[in-house]
Structure 1
Amino acid sequence: MKRDQFTFYRSYYEALKNLPKRDQTAVLMAVIGYALDETEPSLSGVPLSVFTLIRPTLDSGRNKARNRMNKCGTRSDQTENKLKTNQEQTCKEGEKEVESEREVEREKESENDSYTPPTPSPRGKRFSPPTVDEVRAYCQERNNGVDPESFVAFYASKGWRVGQSPMKDWKQAVITWEKRRKQEGTEKPTAQIMNDETYKYIRAMYQHKEEP
């Protein structure tokens, strides 16, 4: 394994400084060549003995460098695998969101298919909020079981508005409550049911406006 650097310890210097200049150069070049390129030196005598003393620390430094490289490689693989896992998880979550949106659209389409648009109030006729007695009489006429007090209290609290639009036909709203009551099998419409009916009423009124 070739290296770009290595650690030169003071003990190397202490071992070299008492050698003759020529032997110092030979041992120094042997240390550098072995530490960086793992080149086996051609030494003999005292220079070989000095190099032999230094060699174990050079081998130790090489092994540490190799272990560091292996760890970096392992971390790189782990990071890559983690990124792939995150990408797969993100894709799955995106697919779930799309499927959820499609399910909502299918439910709306199903509601539209089974929904009968209400008969709008005559044009030009100003809406007048009904009394509890009027609602009660209409409910008794239809024998629908709708609670007139709950009906009046609910829409009165909203200013007789359906969503953001003013109510135009309270009898149609009663019919809507009546249909939902039959579907749900409950005696009185819940807040959630009433919100659903509000949405349907607005939608029906807009559809009527768009008709030629």
Structure 2
Amino acid sequence: MARQDTDERVSDEFIDDTQDCAERELAHRQRGTVRPITVVGHPMLHRECQDVTEFDGALASLVDDMFASQHAAEGVGLAANQIGVDLKVFVYDCPDDDGVRHVGVVCNPVLVELPAESRVLDDNNEGCLSVPTAWAELGRPDVAVVRGQDATGKPIAVRGTGYFARCLQHETDHLHGSLYLDRLSKRERKKALKMMAEGTPRYETVPNPPAA
């Protein structure tokens, strides 16, 4: 997700992703290599990714590259298919609405359906590294819980509120082949794509393959 300029159970399984954020993020990206970002229209972004089944050194290296790529593009979240890898994994380095920084990685994420009374709809701007220079207002629940696995295969759950909740939902959508554009009206989608066409990305992108 692009950086914004502007039945749930309380359980010990929720990870604490707020500790040593700067050190952990820096270690990942120092080991990683920056990769270009795929943009809307690329086939990889429009189909569901494969489950992560091997929690090995190759996955650890991918996570490092994802943190490096996310940082270079000034994003707060990045899914593997945004750098051309067909796996259900995303990383994040995102503040919540209280300014608390969260850093982590989730493999095989599944959004938990929360009771309606535990959340409200948050109408705010949303952007995407795969739709560079474009923004649109999009309503999403202000609380999100994602269950999945960490980079070693351990089951985890991540809870987010506000902007961080939006990030968790946005990145999980990516891994199921959906962009935030797909949640917009036709008019708003067209407007966002026009903004993208008129803008210039600040980071390297992958040209879309020619139509067959």
- TM-score, shorter chain, exceeding 0.5: no
Structure number with higher helix proportion: 1
Question: Relative contact order (alpha carbons < 8 A, sep ≥ 6): 1 or 2 greater?
Answer: 2
Task: Give the greater-gyration-radius structure (CA).
Answer: 1
Q: Give the alignment's TM-score, normalised by structure 2.
A: 0.24
Q: Give the alignment's TM-score, normalised by structure 1.
A: 0.24
